[in-house]
């Protein structure tokens, strides 16, 4: 018995295909949706990411614009970052909050400085969030085995621990 794939699908000569639950005879009729033979087909469209669709030039207008995290095979992952500085004035007043940073991770795993867009619950947190993101190291996003620029949104929470 030959193994045809890693999903326990077995091929026994040419008369049937079988897995642990089903047995299908070769030449058996199966129901497929109709295929429009007149529609143009471009296989490159199946493999494209953000910025490669017709008329879409990416987030920053460049032909090699950043990809969406859902369009890549492996999205970026935060590997390491500097200590997150908490602004002293906000710490003393007990202010907490969140900054959401939208940024492009380049092919080397660094944030592109010109790509930062901040959305903050308090403007006092923005400088610390900016410094953190610019000092962070990411595993770059990959598609088809190559590193690509990826647009991500990174929430950064500023919380205080109760004194002990």
Mean pLDDT of 45-61: 46
Contact 69, 152 (CB under 8 A): yes
Question: Is the per-residue pLDDT at 57 higher than 50?
Answer: no
Whole-structure pTM value: 0.59
Mean pLDDT of 147-159: 93
13 Cβ neighbours under 8 A, 6+ residues apart:
none
Task: Assign residue 55 a region (left: φ > 0; alpha: ψ between -120 and 50; beta: otherwise).
Answer: left
Give the angle subtended at the CA of 128 by the CAs of 127 and 130, to the nearest 5°. Answer: 65
pLDDT tens figures, 3-48 = 333 333 333 334 444 545 555 555 555 555 566 666 666 655 545 5
pLDDT tens figures, 63-78 = 467 888 888 999 999 9
| Residue 141 pLDDT | 94
> Residue 90: which of 116, 127, 44, 59 has the closest Cα?
127
| Residue 86 pLDDT | 94
pLDDT tens figures, 83-134 = 999 999 999 999 999 999 999 999 999 999 888 888 999 999 999 999 999 9
> Can you tell me the distance from the alpha carbon of 17 to that of 4, in angstroms, rounded to the nearest whole number?
10
Task: Give me the domains of the chain, ranges plus CATH numbers.
Answer: 1-28 (no CATH), 66-158 (3.30.2420.10)
In sequence order, what E strands does the chain have? 2-3, 10-12, 16-18, 23-25, 77-80, 97-105, 117-120, 137-139, 141-143, 146-148, 150-158
Mean pLDDT of 39-65: 51
> Can you tell me the distance from the alpha carbon of 61 to that of 7, in angstroms, rounded to the nearest whole number?
43
């Amino acid at each position: 018995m030959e193994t045809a794939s890693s999903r326990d699908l077995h091929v026994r000569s040419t008369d049937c295909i079988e897995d642990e639950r089903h047995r299908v005879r070769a030449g058996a009729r199966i129901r497929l949706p109709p295929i429009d033979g007149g529609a143009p087909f471009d296989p490159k469209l199946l493999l494209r990411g953000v910025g490669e669709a017709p008329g879409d030039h990416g987030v920053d207008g460049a032909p090699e614009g950043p990809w969406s995290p859902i369009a890549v095979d492996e999205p970026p992952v935060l590997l390491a970052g500097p200590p997150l500085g908490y602004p002293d004035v906000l710490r003393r007043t007990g202010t907490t909050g969140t900054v959401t940073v939208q940024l492009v991770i380049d092919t080397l795993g660094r944030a592109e400085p010109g790509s930062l867009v901040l959305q903050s619950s308090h403007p006092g947190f923005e400088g610390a969030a900016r410094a953190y993101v610019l000092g962070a190291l990411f595993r770059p996003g990959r598609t088809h085995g190559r590193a690509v620029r990826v647009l991500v949104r990174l929430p950064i929470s500023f919380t205080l621990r109760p004194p002990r």
